[in-house]
Amino acid sequence: MAKHHGKAGHFTIDGVDLTEYLTDISLEESVDTAEVSTMGSDDKEFVEGMAGSTISLSGVWDDTAVSGPDVTLSGLKGAGANTFVYGPAGADTGDVTYTGSAILTSYARTTPIGGAVAFTAGFQVTGPVARALAA
């Protein structure tokens, strides 16, 4: 089992590589459940429902006019679903990547008095997340 350092993480959205600005990438997958317990039961019972995923990004804010995270993420507001590629250990040939389509649901900029200007962004994945090896 290979172990990896987070510094090699990789993320693109709508074909734009945001990797150099990011300090944290999270892809969370979950499955809904529905309770189907009946009268007389002592324990709850559930059935599996639909799967869903969200993506959270954190990073150093940059207002580069052409390719920085501010222009990229601001441009995704109201733009519908966009293709993402997430490589927890990178996106070189043979690395595991996760791909799919996601809708920008939040984008925040923070300006702490004692730190760097930063941003966070949230995405709702629409449809499945595909796991593959980077080519």
What is the pLDDT averaged over residues 74-79? 94
102 pLDDT band (50/70/90 cuts)?
very high
- Burial of residue 104 (CB within 10 Å: 0-12, 13-18, 19+) is buried
What is the pLDDT averaged over residues 20-42? 96
What is the pLDDT averaged over residues 104-133? 96
pTM of the model: 0.91
Cα distances (angstroms) measured from residue 90 to each of 49, 67, 87, 100, 121: 32, 20, 5, 17, 20
Report the percent of the chain where pLDDT is more than 90.
87
pLDDT over 70 (residue 1): no
- Just give the CATH number of 7-133: 2.40.30.200
Task: Using DSSP, state whether 108 is helix, strand or coil.
Answer: strand
What is the pLDDT averaged over residues 43-57? 97
